[in-house]
Chain A
Amino acid sequence: MVYLTRKAEFSASHLYHNPAFTPEENRRIFGKCNNPHGHGHNYTLEVTVKGEVDPRSGFVVDLKQLKEVMHREVLDAMDHRFLNKEVPEFLHQIPTTENIAIAIWQRLVAKLDRAQLHRVRVYETPDLFVDFYGEL
């Protein structure tokens, strides 16, 4: 089994707000992230797939295909977007880094051919990142 990781970057804005909470609760729980006008990050995405090395190609996965899938399913939808308003998953769910990692996993998992998705890692900043392994 070999693991292959592909990185990508996207920039997006978001805010943390749960309409079920009072304004005071939203401010207390989410702090600055509750600013109603949103704020942005340069996200770094790392997608790790795993599989046996194909004896003919020497590849775990065709990197070109993986890159295309990541662009089509993730970057086209999220890069330079306001996540709360423009990405369907976040119309009714807070676009925390946790939920972004889960959404990216769900967008990618069915679209990969030979290799199996192992991990989605999303860096919100260089000092904060979330890993999702598809665990319930």
Chain B
Amino acid sequence: MKAHLSRRYLFSASHRLHSDAMSDQENQETYGKCNNPYGHGHNYTVEVTVSGQVDEQTGMVCNLADLDSFIEKEILARFDHENLNTMKEFAQEVPTTENLCIQIYEIVQRGFPHAHLERVRLEETMMNSFEYAG
């Protein structure tokens, strides 16, 4: 039997939405308040969904301890309480929640060997969320 397991994690980070490819006026028009030069922050919720056969011996798609330790080390330790704009991951792209969602998906897909990654859902606020499934 194949099941999908989803786990939600919290981290907080700041960002500024600003594209070097745009003029100051275009940046202001495109990003509005998010273009504030000093940046601003969010409490992000990241929801990671993996899938696979439920192991008959353990009753699990994958061991939650493995998923938790991977996400703690590779996602939370990396992004929590950071200014996203200063990170090498966002040296070349705007740290929108779309791009952050894709980055997280790619880190998990590359590095987590214990189950198939179905999707990453990233909530920027209670009102905004983004999903990426590859």
Contact = CB atoms under 8 A, between A and B. Distances in A.
Contacts of A130: 3-6, 61
How many of chain A's residues touch chain B, expressed as a range? 20 to 34
Interface in B39-85: 49, 54, 57-61, 63-65
A16 B57 CA distance: 11
Contact of A98 (B7, B57, B61, B65): B61
A131 B8 contact: no
B110 interface: no
Contacts of B3: 98, 101-102, 130-132, 135
Contacts of B59: 16, 93-96, 98-99
Given A20-B57, A94-B59, A96-B60, A129 B2 contact: no
B63 A98 contact: no
A99 to B, nearest CB: 5
B7 to A, nearest CB: 6
A129 B118 CA distance: 14
Contacts of A20: 57
Interface of B: 1-9, 49, 54, 57-61, 63-65
* Pairs of residues from A and B, 5 with the lowest C-beta to C-beta distance, nearest first: A96-B59, A94-B59, A131-B4, A135-B2, A127-B8
